[in-house]
Amino acid sequence: DRLRTPTTFTFSHYTPVSEIVRYWQRELDTPFLVDWPALEKLDLWPDSRIACAIENEPWQLALEKILEPLGLGWRAVAGGTIEITSAEKVQTQLQLELYQLRRELGDDRGRVLGKLRDIAAEQAPAIVYDPTGKVLIVLQPAPTQRLVYQWLVDERLALSD
């Protein structure tokens, strides 16, 4: 929910990346983890300086707009932490997520799994449903995980929406 709230910020003077990330962490009240070894491969360091500005954009989009030109991306990881790493890692590295559902899918199981597999069409469909625990098990890269979660929220299936 925090990532959907709008933000406005300006770093008009070139500012170290580490300071900008600390600012984001304070403003979002969410821990950030920076994969410095991945950034090093892109010649980015904690003291690398960038200028950036966002006006009234949701945090999710703001992070993408700032990070993408640098070859970076973000993804949610354990404990509600946001990890900043290379865009390649975000796009390709698989993440395991367990989505607790509000209800047993029953007769709706085929439709739900079919739709989620359509969402994940570019990746091998690693989506399994455990009816005993009402848990959807999804092994997909971060961008697909975001789409899966948003669809589950829109369909009022996700327990933690």
- Angle, helices 17-28 vs 59-67, to 10°: value is 170
Per-residue pLDDT at 80: 85
Confidence of residue 2 (pLDDT cuts 50, 70, 90): confident
Are 94 and 87 a contacting pair, CB within 8 Å? no
The per-residue pLDDT for 122 is: 65
Contact 119, 153 (CB under 8 A): no
pLDDT digits (tens, 9 = 90+) for 106-144: 899 999 998 998 888 766 658 899 999 999 999 999 999
What tens digit of pLDDT does each residue of 80-99 get? 899 999 999 999 899 888 99
Q: Which residue has the higher pLDDT, 159 or 23?
A: 23
Task: For helices 109-119 and 142-154, give the axis angle rounded to 10 degrees.
Answer: 140
pLDDT reading at 161 higher than 70: no
